[in-house]
Amino acid sequence: MSTRRFGMVIGLRPEAVAEYKRLHAGPGVRDLLTAANIRNFNIFIQAFPDGRHYEFAYYEYVGDDYERDMAELNRHPRNIAWLELCDPMQVPLPGAEGWLEMERVYFNP
């Protein structure tokens, strides 16, 4: 089993920043992410000079069947409810439907 690393980006509605931070300060779906073999999940928020806010997420997948684990996570009622809270706060980048996976160009273990 090898670790897969993911970086993703999405916009965040400026008026939703405080609520988004509040939601993520609680337990949320942390246990579901762990059960789906996701580790070291981080989300960063940055306001840009044009007033737009962006989120950058990083996580590591340590399981042996990513598609299966993500399918199970996406079917879980608590995860569905969580996304129903968070998704309206976000603004996908042009051409994307949600989080946009980024290309990793450098890694230093």
- The CATH number of the domain holding residue 9 is 3.30.70.1090
Q: How many domains does the chain divide into? A: 1
In a domain, 32, yes or no: yes
In a domain, 55, yes or no: yes
Longest dimension (CA), the chain: 43
Task: Determine the structural domain holding residue 11 and report its residue range.
Answer: 4-96
* Long-range contacts (CB closer than 8 Å, 24 or more residues apart) made by 37-41: 37/61, 37/62, 37/63, 37/69, 38/62, 38/69
In a domain, 40, yes or no: yes
pLDDT in single tens digits along all 109 residues of the chain: 689 999 999 999 999 999 999 999 999 999 999 999 999 999 999 999 999 999 999 999 999 999 999 999 999 999 999 999 999 999 999 999 999 999 999 999 8
pTM as predicted? 0.92
CA distance 92 to 71: 21
